[in-house]
A = this chain, B = another copy of it.
Amino acid sequence: MKTLKILKIGGNIIDDEAALTQFLFNFSKISGPKILVHGGGKLATKLAQQMLVEVNMIDGRRITDQDTLDIITMVYAGKINKNIVANLQANNCNSVGFSGADGNSVISEKRPIKEVDFGFVGDVIQVNTSTLELLLNNNITPIFCAITHDENGQLLNTNADTIASELAIEFTKKFKTELYYCFEINGVLENINDENSVIENINTTTYKTLIDQGIIVDGMLPKLNNCFHAISNKVTKVCIGKPDMLFKTNTVYTTIQE
């Protein structure tokens, strides 16, 4: 089985032109099948402000009304995705931009309304790898934005970390898959104020302890839940850290273990 590398990059890389350019240069040099999943960064919020569309966040999550969905679709699938693809082509990395609607590759369902109506937010229910596989087998790299669809014509806003983990899990049927969450810090930190306090390995048992101790909180929780979901579903390797973990030797980062 060939190895498939799935990398997810977040807003901090997207928002920093020099960092993104450097990342894409390095990404283009990765040999073998690879997929990039990208989030959105601050551009969507900036555009919403310019368009006078109110940004509603509940518990750090964006409420996606129709205007917000349009903005996200324009920014993620349009501006960010196409500029990444054009940049990769300039680096001789043949790529094709994807949302979950393209190739019917990621199907989600609108999140049911409970205490909060998140609007057009989709939870992944199915991943179809056939179109992606066709491209990967022909040395073409899919570039995913965090938009999915419900198969009835409705686009939905979906968490990019989740798209990355669900793709990784489904691809275990065809590849040895490795999942890399790239962000601005070296990994999961024992002390949030100390970049050198990276916890190099976390497993299910130590994860619970770290939560109990209040070391893993806020946005790290859903990210790590995605990691453990992947590692417990046959994904070979799951890592969190700076992109350097893939491109430089002797870097420290967090590896997730069952």
Which residues in A have some Cβ–Cβ distance to B below 8 Å?
47, 50-52, 70, 73-79, 81-83, 85-87, 89-90, 94-99, 101-104, 131, 134-135, 138, 140, 147, 149, 151-155
- B96 x A153 contact (CB < 8 A): no
- B96 x A149 contact (CB < 8 A): no
Known contacts A75-B78, A82-B102, A86-B155; can you find 10 more A-B pairs with CB under 8 A?
A50-B52, A78-B78, A82-B99, A83-B155, A86-B101, A87-B153, A90-B153, A95-B103, A131-B135, A134-B135
Known contacts: A77-B77, A78-B79, A82-B147. The answer to whether A96 contacts B90 by CB under 8 A is no
Cα(A193)–Cα(B152), bound, Å:
40
- B131 x A86 contact (CB < 8 A): no
Return 13 A-B CB contacts under 8 Å, by A number.
A50-B52, A75-B78, A76-B78, A78-B78, A82-B147, A82-B155, A85-B99, A89-B104, A90-B153, A96-B102, A97-B99, A131-B135, A131-B138
Known contacts: A135-B134, A153-B89. The answer to whether A83 contacts B94 by CB under 8 A is no
Cα(A78)–Cα(B73), bound, Å:
5
Q: Which residues of B contact A79 (CB under 8 A)?
A: 70, 73-74, 78
Q: How far is the CB of A22 from chain B (nearest CB, A)?
A: 13
Cα(A82)–Cα(B75), bound, Å:
12
Q: Which residues of B contact A52 (CB under 8 A)?
A: 50
Q: How far is the CB of A142 from chain B (nearest CB, A)?
A: 10
Give the residue name and chain of the B residue nearest to A21 (CB): B153
Partner of A97, one of B94, B97, B140, B151: B97
Q: Which residues of B contact A138 (CB under 8 A)?
A: 131, 134
Q: How far is the CB of A107 from chain B (nearest CB, A)?
A: 9
Q: Which residues of B contact A101 (CB under 8 A)?
A: 82, 85-86, 89, 97
Give the residue name and chain of the B residue nearest to A147 (CB): B82
Cα(A70)–Cα(B75), bound, Å:
9
Q: How far is the CB of A167 from chain B (nearest CB, A)?
A: 16
- A83 x B78 contact (CB < 8 A): no
Give the residue name and chain of the B residue nearest to A138 (CB): B134
Q: Which residues of B contact A82 (CB under 8 A)?
A: 73, 77, 99, 101-102, 147, 155
Cα(A101)–Cα(B96), bound, Å:
8
Q: Which residues of B contact A94 (CB under 8 A)?
A: 103-104, 131
